[in-house]
């Protein structure tokens, strides 16, 4: 028997957002608010950067101190805009990854700073061909720099150091790229996390500072809040959610997850929620809140 949940960490794409329209459904939004009103801390954990995450939640009456784990754990901030933690990827490592990965697909680096140049890439045409919708949504934050290494020079100010790299391409390309990273000297200086969208033949490799993941960020957040892992629920749908699902005492996998992940969930005894287009997040939260003592509300 699990103890009542005190912290819920929720992925965004493929989990909190609907498949059609890419929005938070009213039912999911109500569930987030209900959890906060019941005294449960609700955290968002996503590969998106903070500025690309917060607007998704603006239509709901959520707490300003709601934690946002963004860039796959590289940044911990609040919905109200306070930055709590930030990890950076050493510029020399980022430059080395450029040389290694340039031939595999569109390579992008993220910086934790506002405005244009928050996202830097060198081949906009290639990116528009593979991740056109993402490019359009983030266009005002993108700067094109060629060669890309020019934007990755050594800097004392952490705002001028990348927090995350991303290479996107077909499933086959990204599996080859992941193998290339793991067999290269750079593998000991960065984490590599894969996200796959099989229906679109699209995969993304996120390149993170050593020790950074959604799971480690969730662990630090729980420690900050004085919450035991047995009281933590994590909800996700993809491979980049695996670390937080494995760390949390109560893991919920979305029904739209890949069959390989569902097999892993079955082996680990995780719950399976309905798919994202059937308000799976709300279903999981509503079930969890039913076990929260009335005195906690």
| DSSP result, 116-177 | TTSEEES-HHHHHHHSHHHHHHHGGGEEE-SSGGGGG---SSGGGSEEEEEEEE-HHHHHHH
Q: What pLDDT does 296 receive?
A: 54
Q: What is the pLDDT of residue 294?
A: 66
Tell me the domain boundaries of the chain: 7-86+213-296, 91-209
Superfamily of domain 7-86+213-296: HAD superfamily/HAD-like (3.40.50.1000)
- pLDDT in the model for residue 133: 87
Alpha carbon distance 256, 274 (integer Å): 8
pLDDT attached to residue 262: 97
Residue 158 is predicted with a pLDDT of 86
Q: Give residues with Cβ within 8 angstroms of 23, minimum separation 6.
A: 17, 56
What is the helix, strand, coil percentage profile of the chain, to 5? 45, 25, 30
Is the domain defined by 91-209 classed in CATH 3.30.1240.10? yes
Say whether 60 sits in a helix, a strand or coil: coil
User: 242: how many CB neighbours lie within 10 A of its CB?
Assistant: 20
Q: What is the mean pLDDT of each run of 10 residues along the chain (297 residues)?
A: 93 94 94 98 97 95 98 97 96 96 93 92 84 91 96 90 95 95 96 91 95 98 98 97 98 96 96 97 97 67
How far is the C-alpha of 7 from the C-alpha of 203, rounded, in Å?
30
- Tell me how crowded residue 228 is: count the other CB atoms within 10 A of its CB: 12
Report CA-CA distances (Å) from 178 to 13, 24, 102, 188, 194. Answer: 21, 31, 13, 13, 8
The residue assigned the tokens 């805009």 is: 81
């Amino acid at each position: 028997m699990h103890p009542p949940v005190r912290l819920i960490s929720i992925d965004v794409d493929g989990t909190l957002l609907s498949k059609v329209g890419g929005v938070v459904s009213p039912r999911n939004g109500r569930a987030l608010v209900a959890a906060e009103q019941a005294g449960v801390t609700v955290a968002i954990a996503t590969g998106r950067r903070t500025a690309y995450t917060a607007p998704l939640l603006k239509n709901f009456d959520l707490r300003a101190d709601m934690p946002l784990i963004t860039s796959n754990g590289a940044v911990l901030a609040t919905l109200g805009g306070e930055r709590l933690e930030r990890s950076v990827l050493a510029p020399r490592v980022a430059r080395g990854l450029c040389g290694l990965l340039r031939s595999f697909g569109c390579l992008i680096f993220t910086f934790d700073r506002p405005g244009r140049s928050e996202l830097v890439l060198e081949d906009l045409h290639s990116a528009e061909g593979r991740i056109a919708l993402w490019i359009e949504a983030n266009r005002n934050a993108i700067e094109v720099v060629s060669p890309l290494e020019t934007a990755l020079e050594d800097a004392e100010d952490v705002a001028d150091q990348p927090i995350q790299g991303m290479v996107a391409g077909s499933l086959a390309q990204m599996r080859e790229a992941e193998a290339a990273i793991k067999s290269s000297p750079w593998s000991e200086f960065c984490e590599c996390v894969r996200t796959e969208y099989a229906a679109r033949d699209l995969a993304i490799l996120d390149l993170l500072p050593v020790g950074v993941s959604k799971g480690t960020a969730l662990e630090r957040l729980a420690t900050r809040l004085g919450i035991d892992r047995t009281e933590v629920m994590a909800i996700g749908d993809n491979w980049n959610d695996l670390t937080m699902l494995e760390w949390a005492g109560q893991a919920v996998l979305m029904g739209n997850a890949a069959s390989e992940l569902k097999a892993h969930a079955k082996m680990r005894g995780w719950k399976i929620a309905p798919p994202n287009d059937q308000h799976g997040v709300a279903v999981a939260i509503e079930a969890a809140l039913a076990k929260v003592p009335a005195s906690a509300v």
